[in-house]
Amino acid sequence: MEKKARQFGYTITRDRQIDYDANKHDISKIVAAAEPSLNLCISCGTCSATCSAALFTDFSLRHVILLLRRGETSGLAKEVAKCMLCGKCQLVCPRNVSTRNLIIQISKAVIPAQL
Amino acid sequence: MPKHVIVIGAGPAGLETSANLAKLGIAVTLVEKEESTGGHVKQWHALFPALLPGTEALDAIRKGMPENVRVQNKTTVTGIEAVNNYFTVSGHNGWQEKADAIVFATGFQLFDARRKEEYGYGIYENVITSADLEEMFATGKSLVNRHGNKPERIGFVHCVGSRDEKVNNLHCSKVCCITAVKQAIEVKQMLPEAEVFCFYMDLRMFGRHYEELYKEAQEKYNIQFIRGRLSESAEDQDGNIVLKVEDTLLGKPLRIKAGLLVLMVGMEPLAGTKSLADKLGLTKVPDGFIQPADEVLQSNFTELPGVFVAGACSGPKSVSDTLADARSAALAVAGFLKL
């Protein structure tokens, strides 16, 4: 489709809206069942501020949690792979989210073949 | 026999409750652990949103205090007991009195910022608390950091000791957001050249004229608001404080230096309130704040007849909320005593 459009001198710009209704929400349900503290996140960003991986990559647990909650799960496997599981985020979280287990559970849910 | 009520704590809540009870013809003993009345407001330079001086507020509250209020100062209440249809209250110094009803107006304690060790209070000289800053304002001296320099940049950290389960305080302290905005404006008035940043999770500008003060902070004083919670601070060679936050709205970690860092310390339940409540047999003190019989309909009653609450001992309150709550408590007590 894009190739054909280019032949005619057009490009196709994809819709960048979050299509909440079309998105699949089963992964967030699986993760929430395995680690219920997922639901406690208030997006304060303390985890991302203290994150060692975030200094050199664009990894952000706050962002990952939001993607998960909105059903934007296609890129999650790549995201969670950036985490080194050091656990600093768990020390600073004001809502006591079990962040390390959360990452492990997201990994399990999105890359079942690897674990 | 005229009815007698003991009010515990002579901050704004205790003073206002006592004055209103006395006006209704009730004899009041107002017990205060310190030498003078006024509570935390004694140390507070100015109150939001209109910058009413703390001393002026207290003078107004104390003015015209009826004669049937007796202040029992320098007395820490250590014993409290329900006997038949009256209460016996005793202090550490041997003072003891009976009353037909008691009002808890024990207030709160400020969060000890040293418990958030990663923020550096008590470790780095240029990390202070909102209460320290208020004291600096009260002295009327020019604002300098602990190295004697005018800070070029000042940071305010919201929610220190509030909304933080790592220090066992889930609650919002209500007043710190607007206090940060107020103090940021006062700092800019003293140091117009300085840059001022507020680091917040949510700005809770729920009160009358709070949003207006927030807008004024942006419009008139160019105060910057960054949505991110401080993870840790460090000190550089020059004594500046280096902050690590995530700018959550940009989605990037942010490093920023400040010459002075102000921690907005929240309200905690006063440690002594819980032990007194336990002595009386109050069971609903879930987090150290006394839970009223019903938070909507009976906010000044407790589960025990004759025991009432006024002010911040039942949860964080501003001074204006506290005064309204105190007047309401006085009416609740009068109703109980069938006056």
Contact A48 B253 (CB under 8 A): yes
CA pair distance B296, B315, nearest whole angstrom = 13
CATH code given to domain A22-114: 1.10.1060.10
Contact A54 B229 (CB under 8 A): no
pLDDT digit string, tens, across residues B289-325? 999 999 999 999 999 999 999 999 999 999 999 999 9
**Average pLDDT score over residue span A39-46:** 96
Using alpha carbons, select from B109, B34, B36, B32 the residue that is nearest to residue B77: B32
Indicate whether B6 pLDDT > 80: yes
Alpha helices in chain A (DSSP H): 2-7, 26-34, 46-50, 61-70, 76-80, 88-92, 99-110
What residues of B are in the A interface, CB distance below 8 Å?
118, 159, 163-166, 201-202, 227-232, 244-248, 251, 253-254
pLDDT digit string, tens, across residues B161-184? 999 999 999 999 999 999 999 999
Q: How confident is the model at residue A104 (pLDDT cuts 50, 70, 90)?
A: very high
CA pair distance B114, B135, nearest whole angstrom = 18
Indicate whether A59 pLDDT > 50: yes
Indicate whether B69 pLDDT > 70: yes
Choose, out of B229, B233, B242, B254, the residue to mutate when testing the contact with A (most A CBs < 10 Å): B229
Which string of DSSP letters, residue by residue, matches B28-84?
A: EEEE-SSSSS-GGGGG-SEETTTTEEHHHHHHHHHTT--TTEEEE-S--EEEEEEET
Contact A92 B118 (CB under 8 A): yes
CA end-to-end distance (rounded Å), chain A: 36
What is the number of residues in chain A? 115
Percent of chain B with pLDDT over 70: 100
CA B305 to chain CA mean position, Å: 27
Question: What is the number of helices (H) and of strands (E) in chain A?
Answer: 7, 0
CA pair distance B302, B297, nearest whole angstrom = 11
Cβ–Cβ under 8 Å, residues B73 and B95: no
pLDDT digit string, tens, across residues A63-92? 999 999 999 999 999 999 999 999 999 999
CA pair distance B322, B289, nearest whole angstrom = 14
Cβ–Cβ under 8 Å, residues B133 and B261: no
**Cα atoms in the 13 Å half-sphere on the side-chain side of B313:** 35
**Average pLDDT score over residue span B51-55:** 95
Domain B113-267: which topology?
FAD/NAD(P)-binding domain (3.50.50)
A-chain CB neighbours of B256 within 8 Å are: none
- Distance to chain B for A68, nearest Cα, Å: 16
Q: pTM of this prediction?
A: 0.93
The pLDDT of residue B144 is 84
Indicate whether A115 pLDDT > 70: no
> Residue for token digits 């992964």?
A27
- Least confident range from A79-88, B33-42, B143-152: namely B143-152
CA pair distance B187, B189, nearest whole angstrom = 5
Domain ranges of chain B: 4-107+270-336, 113-267
The superfamily (CATH) of domain B4-107+270-336 is: FAD/NAD(P)-binding domain (3.50.50.60)
CA pair distance B147, A72, nearest whole angstrom = 50
User: For chain B, what is the mean pLDDT?
Assistant: 96
Q: How confident is the model at residue A114 (pLDDT cuts 50, 70, 90)?
A: very low
Contact A49 B201 (CB under 8 A): no
| ipTM for this model | 0.84
A50, A62, A96 member nearest B248 (Cβ): A62
Q: How confident is the model at residue A112 (pLDDT cuts 50, 70, 90)?
A: low
Indicate whether B331 pLDDT > 90: yes
pLDDT digit string, tens, across residues B184-238? 999 999 999 999 999 999 999 999 999 999 999 999 999 999 999 999 999 999 9
Helix (H) or strand (E) holding B182: helix B176-190
Cβ–Cβ under 8 Å, residues B79 and B99: no
Cβ–Cβ under 8 Å, residues A33 and A106: no
A-chain CB neighbours of B245 within 8 Å are: 45-46, 49
Q: Which amino acid is at B329?
A: A
| B87: three-class secondary structure by DSSP | strand
Q: Which residues contact B270 (CB under 8 A, 6 or more apart)?
A: B106, B107, B108, B109, B288, B313
